[in-house]
Amino acid sequence: MAIDPQEVIEAIDSESSRRILAAASREPMTASELEQALDVSLTTVYRQTNDLVEASFLEEETEISPTGDNYTSFKTAVRHIEFTVEHGEFRVDIQFRNDTIDRFGQLWRSLGG
């Protein structure tokens, strides 16, 4: 898959988007939890999470609480972003969290391993 460096830069160009990725890398968080943890407005959280989900850097999962209410949590989908400038080229390499090793680990844990 070809990665457009400009799209990557635009997805992480704001401090709040980088802070959201960092916070959601520890554990899935709702928009309200991100608002409180990062001390940014809920509007900013929603705008940034939408952009990060669109860029595939953040995953969203909607769950239903025991009371019947639904809520969405966000978790970071990217593990590593590397920018390389060499041999006359500018390259971006991205490693996503849900690669084969991660999926195997999830399966193993679900089996009690």
Specify the number of domains making up the chain: 1
Angle (CA) 16 9 62, round 5° = 55
Per-residue pLDDT of 6-64, as tens digits, reads 888 888 889 999 999 999 999 999 999 999 999 999 999 999 999 999 988 999 998 88
Which CATH number do you get for residue 77? 1.10.10.10
- Give the chain's length: 113
What per-residue string of b and e applies to 89-113 under the rule 16 or more CB within 10 Å gives b?
eeebebeeeeeeeeeeeeeeeeeee
Taking the model in full, what pTM does it have? 0.75
Count the Cβ atoms, other than its own, within 10 Å of residue 20. Answer: 28
Domain span at 71: 5-110
